[in-house]
Amino acid sequence: MGRFLTVFLVLLLLLVTEIGPTVGWSYCETVSKNFKGYCFFSSSCAKVCYGEGGNFDGGHCGLWNCMCYHRC
């Protein structure tokens, strides 16, 4: 059971890090103020971030939180 959990967490970490922006720009992140609940789908997070204003370029799920990002 412990080995399965370790493999699952490593795969989840790899998935989360691949979702973020990959362009060669510097990005600043902040936790969404309007997203409610746990973040499982980055597409839902991005929609909320676009609606928050603040010139956000998108959003992705961090560790259960919706993280909005913009160019620094």
On whether the CB atoms of residues 55 and 62 are closer than 8 A, the answer is no
**DSSP state, residue 22:** -
Rg of the chain in Å (alpha carbons): 13
On whether the CB atoms of residues 67 and 17 are closer than 8 A, the answer is no
Task: Tell me the per-residue pLDDT of 10-62, one tens digit each, with 9 for 90 and over.
Answer: 555 545 555 555 556 688 899 999 999 999 999 999 999 999 977 899 999 98
**Does 68 have pLDDT greater than 70?**
yes
The pLDDT, as a whole number, for residue 19 is 52
Domains defined along the chain, listed by start: 26-72 (3.30.30.10)
